[in-house]
């Protein structure tokens, strides 16, 4: 092992957390009335989905810039980890995770499908990377890493975006009388009233 490179990787990942967290909460605080952490996708901070996309400044610039910086830091950290540990699996997956985050910032939500692809890469690679990190992280943190990876929202998000939708009028969206209905474009979908389409799912 090469401790200096591992220390650099640790610092970069720490800075990633700071940049991402501060970027998100700052973008949320400056977003106009109407944004809800329970009803909106986090990517809406950078731009909502087409065709009627909404881009609110300065929230969009703050969020997208934070994602690009965070993604770059993660990729650099992955390179340092590859050199420091001399292993490939975890660093490559972490690098893919960083590439996904970087892509989310470069291609905001208003770009449509390409944003969805990078978001999917972020969630899936991040979850798998957390599990594979078992090989380079010592207990008890290795166990926490596996638990976080196994329960990553990425698994549900990837399946959701790929079309593995479960027809349901339950959950947080149900309070508004909506459920997941027919996809409007690849990797996307629309919400329809439970009262009119209850129990029916078109894929």
**Residue 180 confidence (pLDDT):** 38
Q: Can you tell me which residue has the tokens 């610092």?
A: 11
Query: What is the spatial distance between Cα 42 and Cα 98, in angstroms, rounded to a whole number?
Result: 17
Question: What residues contact 124, with CB distance under 8 A and at least 6 apart?
Answer: 154, 155, 158
Q: Structure pTM?
A: 0.74
Give the start-to-end residue ranges of the domains of the chain: 3-162, 165-203
Q: Which two tokens stand for residue 44?
A: 């809406």
For residue 40, CA distances in Å to 7, 12, 45, 70, 170 come to 37, 29, 9, 21, 17
**Residue 189 confidence (pLDDT):** 43
* Cβ contact 88:63 at 8 Å: no
Q: Which whole number is the average pLDDT over 132-149?
A: 85
């Amino acid at each position: 092992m090469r401790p200096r490179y591992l220390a650099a990787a640790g610092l970069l990942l720490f800075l990633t957390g700071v940049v991402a967290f501060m970027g998100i909460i700052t973008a949320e605080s400056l977003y106009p009335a109407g944004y809800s952490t329970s009803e909106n996708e986090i990517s809406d901070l950078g731009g909502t989905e087409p065709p009627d996309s909404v881009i609110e400044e300065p929230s969009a610039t703050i969020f997208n810039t934070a994602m690009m910086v965070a993604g770059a830091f993660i990729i650099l950290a992955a390179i340092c980890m590859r050199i420091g540990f001399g292993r490939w699996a975890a660093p490559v997956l972490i690098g893919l995770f960083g590439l996904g985050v970087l892509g989310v910032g470069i291609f905001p939500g208003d770009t449509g499908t390409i944003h969805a692809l990078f978001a999917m890469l972020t969630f899936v690679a991040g979850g798998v990377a957390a599990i594979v990190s078992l090989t380079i992280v010592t207990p008890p943190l290795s166990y926490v890493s596996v638990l976080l990876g196994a329960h990553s929202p990425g698994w549900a998000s990837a399946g959701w975006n790929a079309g593995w939708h479960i027809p349901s009028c339950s959950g947080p969206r149900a309070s508004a009388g909506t459920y997941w209905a027919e996809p409007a474009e690849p990797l996307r979908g629309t919400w329809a009233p439970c009262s009119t389409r209850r129990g029916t799912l078109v894929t």
